A and B are shown apart, each in its own frame.
Chain A
């Protein structure tokens, strides 16, 4: 076998192996498999931007391959050679113009969807609120309407608008992320950022903390369980009846002792503790970022988050 042939064949095998690894198990590409309207908007932008970029990238790569092949310095190459040709108004206009056009189109879509996600359509029913605290190194979920709490697992009803209010409690900044339902937002001490979300299909979804918070960061993953409203209610009732209450002392242990804990469910939690903790973490210095619960249900303030 000649050297070139060998190279070509080994190249083929490498590509085949890569393709096999990359394509194995398409369902694992969770970001590309949205299960709710918010993640769908985000997914659509991924697709649009990929296509628009491809419009530039593919021709550039083709021109590149052609130029390098055609104008290589080999004896007997009869391609034209013009060492002093270094300017062309027409060409310059084309390659300034086409990218400007493409960025214009992409910019339009980006602006549209950024605003759309920040100002979700008003529904008659107020969204169900779930308050989320990232602690070192666990996630605590409070359900103020149901007065129950969970740790490292969150339940949401399918087809219903949910408003996550996220903060970091006695912990560094983290980032709250359930790829198939909603993109990220930072959790920060002393602030409660709002994140509108909705799941349209029942299922168990992967959620994780995405911003580094030290030693136990890698274990800050949680399950988001979306279920039909009836089933959700049933789960709430079940938790209320069978699970212990989360006492103030236990709650204090959660945020003050860094460490990993297992998944937990609690039939109740100290009322208003989430708001209290946001204030405790410095919230009163930044009243713009956090409103008390009454206010939170009304109009969103401009500074508050979005999506």
Chain B
């Protein structure tokens, strides 16, 4: 009996590494700690009512943000572990398999469980406020999206202590990711973790697409929308077309692994090249999914802090839409060396370079928004100023990579690693942080500390260049990615050491930001002021901070682009008199526990199907989970009590308490 339990445990849990045991202990302690705090302070009900069941886009945004912050920490620790192992030749810090797991989870987590939720946090926080809406088009679906993302991420992270992590790279190419070369449940964790959260992402894409097209306040024509809303629209269009490809690809890989099919193994008539094509048909647009909102954020920030309207609005919108279309026609540049032939390679090389044109145009437009403006270097603006040089260089190396014959030499080398980190950190994370600092006072009613923020900024920025510039050089020295170790003979040692130092500087930058948030919660001065920066231009700056649950007491009548700026101009005219608002009862969606339960059922299903390859009885929880998902949909289909009205009196009371004219 005892022996049986022993064999079971050694197969079920990841064993043998002191670091993992340390993690096990800290996970148990943290869980017990959280349970204790919740029980001791009697917060279970609060947590359930205010957060878990919420359909309020602002709260869902905050939950996305917290999740992405935790995942940034996890992915960052992964990065530092790798950099320690590579700091010098022949180090024995991590053995090969452990290193392989870490770079796989690092990539997957940073893109799918850090960048995506960070982006969704900003979508949720800002888009309804910018278009004068009271919530998204489908608030219930919004909650489903979040819980699918959350449980997908949890499932993926579970592989760390149970069953073993995936180790075939963040896109898990077959045949390596097929049964023949990856027996354990690791790859299944990858498939189900990404699959479940991917369905959530697709739903979010649909949700915001509809929200932007249908929920805009009267008077806000498409060409009067703020730039960030435009960028979200562009990004959602890509999501809607790209994510189904991911879902199908992963489903096929699952069928291969689970039913021994041969979609992607060549010996049964399938073809691994098909997987590589399919995954990049999602994977390349995915890059633009995360980067387009970044462009939107920057357009808002640059205009607000240059105190000047955005330069070339039409051209910016056009550029963004061009990017969203062309992003579907570049995927082959991820594998020029797979022998598609000169004609195909030339087409994709040129389409890839071409996408650099609208992207470059945007940089010029930002520069000329600043030109003849008055640049106030606030925290959001600081990140924009860090972004521009970083992104310009990263974009240029992207064009260099697009040159197919040259790519035969860059492919899979550290030159590539340096490039995509430059565009993803410099081009995406920096702008997201700009957006975070920019909208933080709107969502939470206080600003983050300036001094700490400057430290964080410089640590991140200096750290970035110290970490990644040497990696370009390492690429030219022939160092390929995903090496867990290297010898003394190649001369790669000094640059790797420098790179590791840079990675730690960025880590310190992150710690400053963590402290900044804690500091803000404890000490920052609260302000309900609508226009937190004093120079806001779009609708979100016309309502109190944080906004009340219904956002707008009266749905605004939009006069034009930069509506709040126009209102402020009017208010400054002599003889201006504020109109007395006409309140009406506000129609709002009701909270629901179904999304959470449904997410949990997906988790159970995913976990069961993942572990089934090791323990065949795990199919039972898998099937129960799937049935649970079905039941949740059934329950939702027959619930009719899904909305309510906030009476006029209550609206008036709330508005008065926020210091508004009633």
Is residue A257 within 8 Å, beta carbon to beta carbon, of the partner chain?
A: no
Which of B181, B315, B473, B481 is within 8 Å of A214, CB to CB?
B181
Given known pairs A29-B473, A30-B477, A282-B266, the reply for A111 and B346 (CB within 8 Å) is yes
Q: Most chain-B CB neighbours within 10 Å: which of A24, A113, A211, A302?
A: A211
Q: Judge if B392 is at the interface, Cβ distance under 8 Å.
A: yes
Which of A39, A110, A119 lies in contact with B403, CB distance below 8 A?
A110
A39→B405 CA distance, assembly (Å): 9
A100 nearest in chain B by CB position: B357
Q: Are A210 and B408 in contact, with the CB atoms below 8 A?
A: no
Whether the Cβ atoms of A31 and B475 lie closer than 8 Å is yes
Chain A residues closer than 8 Å to B179, beta-carbon distance: none
Residues from 174 to 200 in A contacting B, C-beta threshold 8 Å: 175, 177, 179, 182-186, 188-191, 193
Inter-chain CA distance A22–B349, complex, in Å, is: 30
Give per-residue flags for A100-132: 1 if the beta carbon is below 8 A from chain B beta carbons, else 0: 100100110111011101110000000000000
B279 to chain A minimum Cβ distance, whole angstroms, is 13
When C-beta atoms are compared, the residue in chain B nearest to A65 turns out to be B389
Q: Does A303 contact B (CB under 8 A)?
A: yes
Query: Does B412 sit at the interface, judged by CB under 8 A?
Result: yes
Whether B339 contacts A186 by the Cβ 8 Å rule is yes
Chain B positions 474-489 with a Cβ under 8 Å from a chain A Cβ: 475-478, 480-486
Sort chain B's interface into a size bin: 35 or more
- Say yes or no for B363: interface residue by CB 8 A criterion: yes
Which residues of chain A are near B406, meaning CB under 8 Å?
Answer: 42, 45-46, 49
Instruction: Specify which chain A residues have a CB less than 8 angstroms from the CB of B306 in the assembled complex.
Output: 71
A68 near B370 with CB under 8 A, answer yes
In the bound complex, what is the Cα–Cα distance between A113 and B268 (angstroms)? Answer: 37
Contact with A along B357-375 (1 / 0, CB 8 A): 1001101110111111111
Which A residues lie within 8 Å of B80 (CB)?
none
Bound form: Cα–Cα A302–B266 in Å: 20
Asked if B267 is an interface residue, CB under 8 A from chain A, the answer is yes
B389, A173: Cβ atoms closer than 8 Å: no
Q: Are B339 and A305 in contact (CB under 8 A)?
A: yes
Q: Are A67 and B367 in contact, with the CB atoms below 8 A? A: yes
Name the B residues within 8 Å of A18 (CB-CB). 466, 469, 498
Closest chain B residue, CB of each to CB of A107: B350
Out of B307, B341, B357, name the residue touching A96 (CB < 8 Å).
B357
Known: A21-B498, A49-B406, A110-B349. A28 touches B477 (CB 8 A): yes
Interface flags, A2-30, vs B, CB<8A=1, else 0: 00000000000010001001101100111
A71 touches B342 (CB 8 A): no
A115 touches B342 (CB 8 A): yes
- Assess whether B480 is in contact with A208, with CB atoms less than 8 Å apart: yes
* Contact partner, B308, options A83, A172, A206, Cβ 8 Å: A83
Q: Beyond A29-B477, A186-B337, A213-B176, is A60–B367 a contact (Cβ under 8 Å)?
A: yes
Contact with B along A77-95 (1 / 0, CB 8 A): 1011111111110011001
B161 to chain A: closest CB distance in Å? 21
Contact call A183/B266, Cβ cutoff below 8 A? no
A107 to B345, CA, bound (A): 11
Closest to B360 in A: A99
Contacting pair A30 B476 (CB below 8 A): yes
Q: Which residues of A contact B271 (CB under 8 A)?
A: 286
Give the interface segment out of B393-401, B545-553, B623-631, B635-643. Answer: B393-401
Q: Which residues of B contact A106 (CB under 8 A)?
A: 353, 399, 403
> Closest CB-CB distance, B416 to chain A, in whole Å?
10
Residues of B within 8 A of A110 (CB): 346, 349-350, 353, 402-405
Q: Does A307 contact B (CB under 8 A)?
A: yes
| A50 on the B face (CB < 8 A) | yes
Q: Which residues of B contact A302 (CB under 8 A)?
A: 341
Alpha-carbon distance A191/B271, docked complex (angstroms): 11
Contact: B375 with A57, CB < 8 Å?
no
CA distance A281 to B310 in the complex (A): 58
* Chain B residue at smallest Cβ distance from A61: B389
* Closest Cβ–Cβ distance, residue B319 to chain A (whole Å): 9
- Shortest CB-to-CB span from A269 to chain B, Å, is 23
Output the least CB separation between B154 and chain A (Å).
Answer: 27
Contact A208 B478 (CB under 8 A): yes
**A282-B491 in contact given A302-B341, A306-B339 (Cβ < 8 Å):** no
Q: Is B39 interfacial (CB-CB < 8 Å)? A: no
Q: In the complex, what residues of A have CB within 8 A of residue B266's CB?
A: 188-191, 281-282, 285-286
Tell whether A99 pairs with B375 under 8 Å between CB atoms, given A30-B477, A173-B272.
Answer: no
| Residue on B nearest A52 in the bound complex, by CB | B399
A251 to B509, CA, bound (A): 53
Beta-carbon nearest neighbor of A86 in chain B: B309
Neighbouring A residues of B309 by C-beta, 8 Å: 83-84, 86
Contact A103 B342 (CB under 8 A): no
**A293-307 CB contacts (< 8 Å) to partner B:** 302-307
Among residues 140 to 199 in chain A, which have CB atoms less than 8 Å away from a CB atom of chain B? Answer: 172-173, 175, 177, 179, 182-186, 188-191, 193
Question: Which residues on B sit within 8 Å (CB–CB) of A303?
Answer: 341
Residue from the list A80, A173, A286, A306 in contact with B175, Cβ < 8 A = A173
Q: A110-B403, A214-B100 are in contact. Are A21 and B470 (CB under 8 A)?
A: yes
B337–A184 touching, CB < 8 Å: yes
Choose from A39, A83, A209, A306 the contact partner of B373 (Cβ within 8 Å): A83
CB–CB B413/A210 < 8 A: yes
B554 at the interface (CB under 8 A from A): no
Please, could you name 21 A-B residue pairs with CB atoms under 8 Å apart, sorted by A? A18-B469, A30-B476, A30-B477, A31-B475, A31-B476, A31-B478, A45-B406, A46-B400, A49-B400, A72-B375, A73-B374, A73-B375, A88-B368, A96-B357, A109-B403, A119-B342, A177-B412, A208-B478, A212-B176, A285-B269, A306-B342
The 7 closest A-B pairs by CB, nearest first: A183-B408, A282-B266, A118-B342, A172-B176, A305-B339, A53-B396, A210-B412
Known: A57-B396, A64-B392, A67-B367. 5 other contacts (CB 8 A): A86-B313, A103-B354, A183-B407, A183-B411, A208-B480
Q: Which residues of B contact A (CB under 8 A)?
A: 96-97, 100, 167-169, 173-176, 181, 265-269, 271-273, 306-313, 315, 335, 337-339, 341-342, 345-346, 349-350, 353-354, 356-357, 360-361, 363-365, 367-377, 385, 388-389, 392-393, 396-397, 399-400, 402-409, 411-413, 462, 466, 469-470, 473, 475-478, 480-486, 490-491, 494-495, 498
